[in-house]
Amino acid sequence: MLEPQIFNLKVHSDGRGSLSAVESNIDAPFEIKRVYYMYGIPGGQVRGAHAHKELEQLVIAVAGSFEIVLDDGQSVVTTVLDDPAKALYVPKMNWRTLQNFSKDAVCLVLASALYDESDYYRNYEEYKSALNA
């Protein structure tokens, strides 16, 4: 059974607000090579819907909320992300879909490699065949 791993980030709060940090190879279980973020996502839109051959990622709802559906080929688990102090680990070879974004959602992704289209499975059947190979 797939058990999504959530890392609880330290929250430094004082009268000025809150701050959380993610350090490469410390809070993230890999070297962070790339950061990207999605925002301004219209209601009902679905993002992701792909898997990666090698890429590992941490996903954080730095604002608002959304669901992330992870499928490792054996089971499918949906996690709600709505806390900027929680990071969901997305291992390689997990099909992942992001959905139900709130209007104000900002999805921050920390990734273990630079952007490389050849690392993607964008077709679910192709992904399943690779898992079973």
Give the nearer residue to ligand TYD in terms of CB position, either 86 or 96: 96
CA dihedral 36, 112, 5, 82 (to 10 degrees): -10
Closest separation in Å from C-beta 10 to ligand TYD: 26
Interface residues with ligand TYD (CB under 6 A) are 34, 36, 47-48, 50, 115
52 counts as catalytic: no
Catalytic residue among 50, 62, 64, 99: 50
Q: What's the closest the beta carbon of residue 50 comes to ligand TYD, in angstroms?
A: 6
Integer CA distances (angstroms), 74 to 2, 16, 31, 71, 107, in order: 8, 45, 28, 7, 26
What would the two tokens of residue 45 be?
């839109």
Instruction: Give the active site residues.
Output: 50
